[in-house]
Structure formats: structure tokens, C-alpha cells
Amino acid sequence: MVGLPSGKDGVMTSKGFLVAGVDGSASSTAALRWAMEQAEITGAELLAVTAWSHRLALDPGAPHLTAEEEAETHRKALRELVEAVRRPGVEVRMEVVEGDPADMLLRAAKGARLLVLGSHGHGLVLRALVGSVSARCLRLATCPVLVLPVPAVEAEAKAGEAVASLGYDAGPVL
């Protein structure tokens, strides 16, 4: 799916920048890899963004992380994923931001040449109940949006296993 820009915000460098949404899932790893390859081909910079919300432990026996500890866990996972798909010569910036994923991605993508997301392949019922980050980005982004479909992601399953081996939990996927 590709969404066309709804406006022109932000300032681009001569080669511009791409934004990849990263949540630790296999689909977002595929999106990051695709965006990295495109940045290498075009000479654009890449901004990898992880958006998160602090979760209070619902289980009293579960370990409770402070917001800063949780943010550091997300930063570490993002660094690991970026390093796993890094391409020579690509300038990569990483942002870990607390907030609604769609809002944070839309803000990061202002002025971008392209926003790249992975699809989680949720059905219509779940999407209607909880919404879809990719659907909101497709509707509201000020730049083109590419959503990699689930079949394109299946080859990335092994990368997801690597993240799982780190003990990283992206939290609920909406």
C-alpha cells in the first residue's frame, strides 16, 4: 500500500531522509531492512523510530521497570536491530520516543521522502476495535507511506527470533 502526501511540512536535505517505524516485530524488521536498502541506493539518511508507552505491570509478581529502564530497553533493541541490517555508507539516526506510535511516526516523518512500515496483518475486526498505526499513517502522513505486506515479511522471521533471544518485548501490537 502506498499513501500519497497530504501536505508539505518540514525541510529536506538535498538527498532527503527516510523514516522506518520499528517495534521489534518481524514486520518492522523487514520495513527497516527495506528502508536501509533504499537509503543506500538513494543516498538518503535513515531515521529509525521506536514509539512506546510506559506499561504498569498488571501482574503484581511481574518485574516493574521504571519509564527510564523501559526506554533504555527500547533503545538497546533498536540499536541491535539497526546494526543487524546496517548497510555501508548509510547515515542512520535512531529515536526512541514515548507516545502514541502513529502520532510519533507522523511527527518524525514530516519532511521525509518516505515513511516505511511493516504490516501486522490483523483482520478487519481487530483493526476496527483498536485501530491501525499503518492506516492512520496512510491517512494523515505528509509524505508517501509504504506498508510492506505480511508475505514480504515472512522472510524476516529469523530476525525476529534474534530479537526474542535478547528478551525484548515490544508490548501489545495494535
- The number of domains in the chain is 1
Q: How many helices (H) and strands (E) does the chain have?
A: 7, 6
Instruction: Please report, in tens digits, the pLDDT of each residue of the chain (174 residues total).
Output: 334 333 344 333 458 999 999 998 888 999 999 999 999 999 999 999 999 887 655 556 666 788 898 899 999 999 999 999 999 999 999 999 999 999 999 999 999 999 999 987 655 544 454 458 999 999 999 999 999 876 555 555 555 555 566 666 655 443
CATH of the domain at 21: 3.40.50.620
Q: Is residue 173 part of a domain?
A: no
Range of the domain at 118: 2-8+15-55+65-165
Residue 7 confidence (pLDDT)? 37
User: What pTM did the predictor assign?
Assistant: 0.74
Q: Is residue 60 part of a domain?
A: no
3-state secondary structure of 112: coil
Q: What's the CA gap between 46 and 48, in Å, rounded?
A: 6
- Residue pair 72/50 in contact (Cβ under 8 Å)? The answer is no
Q: What are phi and psi of 173, to 5 degrees?
A: -100, 125
Q: Is residue 140 part of a domain?
A: yes
Q: Is residue 171 part of a domain?
A: no
Q: Is residue 76 part of a domain?
A: yes
Residue 138 confidence (pLDDT)? 93
E-only strand ranges, the chain: 2-3, 17-21, 45-52, 92-98, 114-118, 145-148
Q: Is residue 44 part of a domain?
A: yes
Q: Is residue 130 part of a domain?
A: yes
Edge-to-edge strand list for the sheet holding 92-98:
2-3, 145-148, 114-118, 17-21, 45-52, 92-98
Residue 108 confidence (pLDDT)? 98
3-state secondary structure of 67: helix
Q: Is residue 89 part of a domain?
A: yes
**Of 87, 68, 67, which is closest to residue 20 (Cα–Cα)?**
87
Residue 137 confidence (pLDDT)? 94
